[in-house]
Amino acid sequence: MHYSVSLIGSGNVAWHLSQALEKAGHQVREIYSRTPGHAERVAEKLYDAQVVTSLDFSESESDVFLLCVSDDAIGRVADELILPDEDAVVCHTSGTQPLDLLAGREHAGVFYPLQTFTSNRRLDLTTVPFCIESTDQHTEQVLVGIAQSISRTVYLVDAQERKMLHVGAVFACNFTNHLLALSRHLLAQEGLEFGLLKPLVRETFEKALEAADPATVQTGPAVREDYQVIHAHLDYLQRTPHWQALYKSITDSIVLLSRRG
């Protein structure tokens, strides 16, 4: 089934989702932004979407209203949003925010694509897991239908599971990215290029993602409890006590997890 959709917000999530929606046969009617230029950047990739700057959608013919705004704007935007009627489905796309930010709506949901979005970067949305939560069966049916038209991987998750997914994603993505950033800084201190480590990083990640459990392919001095190397590294990091402390925390955590098995 095809739906008419309006997107509230004009960032990277709106940029990617709107194009995927059209490709799947849905009609994107409106793109809202407080800053019309931003909405135009999204709309220009679409067949016939209108740029709007008002949250009054009482005249809109859309069935579904997707809030693709930052977490802290969801509540405010939801409060100002005027829907055409009570049949309209409204959902936000956040991994962390509760469904009850949309309280008072007849048909509310969360439509959370578990991915990081960068504009102008090609992404295969068919492999992106969509996590759906909803107040009622009609909303669930609509959101699951849309998600399945875009992606092969659609999950119904409750609030608790969605929160855990987000915490897990922070560890697996935000934190790992930071460790790569730190590593680049460390190398730069010696005038070494980060590129030197890239083949090793690629192989590490491929192995970790192929393993049923990344713990089983853990290598390095910590899992071997090779304290000679660990102490040499800690000495080396004395110039940067903060990174030394971080090295110690993660090393302890590896030892703990590997002893637990």
**Residues of span 180-219 touching its own copies by CB under 8 A:** 180-187, 189-190, 192, 194, 196-205, 207-209, 213-215, 217-219
Q: Which of 209, 210, 212, 221 is nearest to 258 (CA)?
A: 221
Position among 53, 54, 118, 119 found at the interface with its own copies (CB under 8 A): 118
What is the Cα–Cα distance from 224 to 214, expressed in whole angstroms? 16
Q: Which of 1, 58, 66 is nearest to 31 (CA)?
A: 66
Cβ nearer to its own copies, comparing 1 with 192 = 192
Cβ nearer to its own copies, comparing 50 with 218 = 218
Q: How far is the CB of 6 from its own copies (least distance, A)?
A: 26
Q: How far is the CB of 85 from its own copies (least distance, A)?
A: 33
Position among 238, 242, 259, 261 found at the interface with its own copies (CB under 8 A): 242
Report DSSP state, residue 100: G
Q: How far is the CB of 4 from its own copies (least distance, A)?
A: 28
* Helix, coil or strand: residue 5: strand
Cβ nearer to its own copies, comparing 58 with 160 = 160
What is the Cα–Cα distance from 179 to 187, expressed in whole angstroms? 12
Cβ nearer to its own copies, comparing 138 with 224 = 224
Please report how the helices 12-23 and 137-150 are oriented relative to each other, as an axis angle in degrees rounded to 10.
Answer: 80
| Footprint of its own copies on 122-181 (CB under 8 A) | 123, 127-129, 153, 155, 157, 160-161, 163-181
- Is 245 a residue that touches its own copies (CB under 8 A)? yes
What is the Cα–Cα distance from 97 to 110, expressed in whole angstroms? 9
| Footprint of its own copies on 39-78 (CB under 8 A) | 71-72
Q: Please say whether the beta carbons of 223 and 254 come within 8 A.
A: yes
- β-partners of residue 90 are 65, 108
